[in-house]
Amino acid sequence: MSNWVEYSETILIDEFTTKILPDAYIQYFTLKEIQAYAHKRKKGSLAARYLIKNVIRKYFKSSIAYNEMEILNSDSGKPVLYCSKLEKEELERIHISLSHSQQEVAVFVIFEK
């Protein structure tokens, strides 16, 4: 990655809820993600997953659809990225972290060389 700013982005939860209505969730999320994070108090978690997927799509020049990626929490609570379009070695070099409150979302996506 030549310039980290190129892959830096911010999204507001309000913007997320108005841009992506529940009827359109299936375009952006897997069924497991929707079941786990789409209820009202977890909207920030869903918005964070959308943002992570958006950053990954930009990095791979949109060759991966949003709903072809899945981000679920492990038993320890760590977010884990799954994607059948990427090799295991590629997935191991993508590090993700997310945090959210009722109004804000912060994500980190690191692409290891």
Could you report the per-residue pLDDT of 49-81, keeping only the tens digit for each? 998 999 899 899 888 999 999 999 999 999 999
Q: Which domain holds residue 22?
A: 4-111
| Residue type (1 letter), 98 | L
Closest CA to 47 of 68, 23, 22: 22
Task: Return d(Cα 49, Cα 69) in angstroms, integer.
Answer: 10
CATH number at residue 54: 3.90.470.20
The predicted model scores a pTM of: 0.81
Average of per-residue pLDDT across 95-105: 84
Tally of domains in the chain: 1
